[in-house]
Amino acid sequence: MGVGLLGARIIGPAAWPASAVVRPCGSSARLAMLNVRSQTRRFAAAVVPLVLVVAFGLTKIALHTTAEHRTGSSGGPGEVWLDYAGTALYASFAAIGSANTLAMISFERRREVALLRVIGTLPGQLRAMAAWEATVVSLMALLLGGAISLATLAPILQPAFGSPVPYLPWTVVAGVVGAPLTLAVLSTVLPVQSALRRRPVAALRAT
């Protein structure tokens, strides 16, 4: 609830460490970084659902994986299944909301894409810019969601297992990192690719 209410106020600070990761990756990455940092309100609507997916998913999964790693049992099969099913359902709805927001952001920027093409920006550069924007969005979601999950898990795991550090198999980590990144890239790049099919002058006249 706090993340949802704060929105753009926490997205701005989170963009700095995410931007530091992509800054050395070329001009398209730097342009994407500037776009996200200058339009925090717009991108917050996409980042916040992803943050909630990462935080909620990591917390739920880590409770069971840590318990199984420390005690050999993650709980009753029926209770564990219900937890995972509920987490998957919640994550799916939040992911759809974030994908729709990212797609609309890209769709609303048809004029910007057309102007960049008129001044000589190549289609490949625009696709790269969109992909890097998605990467920055995903990194922010992972940073914030991971921090929220750790803060939530610590007071639960410490008294139960004597350590606040959760145990996560590498497959879970890979899934948590890969799923938001894939979703964000597809939701951002595909609308830009659609806009690139139109002649830039025609797109400018239409908008």
User: Is the pLDDT reported for residue 74 higher than 90?
Assistant: no
First CA to last CA distance, the chain: 37
User: Is the pLDDT reported for residue 48 higher than 90?
Assistant: no
| Domain range summary for the chain, segments of one domain joined by + | 2-24+40-206
What's the pLDDT band for 204 if we cut at 50, 70, 90?
low
| Minimum mean pLDDT range among 117-121, 155-159, 190-194, 200-204 | 200-204
Chain centre distance of CA 172:
16
User: Is the pLDDT reported for residue 153 higher than 90?
Assistant: yes
Q: Give mean pLDDT, residues 70-77.
A: 83
Averaged pLDDT of the chain: 82
Token reading at 197: 């099919």
* Higher local confidence (pLDDT), 70 or 126: 70
Q: Residue 41 has what pLDDT?
A: 78
- Alpha helices for 109-199 (secondary structure H): 110-118, 123-161, 170-196
* Higher local confidence (pLDDT), 204 or 65: 65
Q: Residue 23 has what pLDDT?
A: 74
φ, ψ for residue 74 (rounded to 5)? -100, 5
Q: What is the Cα–Cα distance from 176 to 189, expressed in whole angstroms?
A: 20
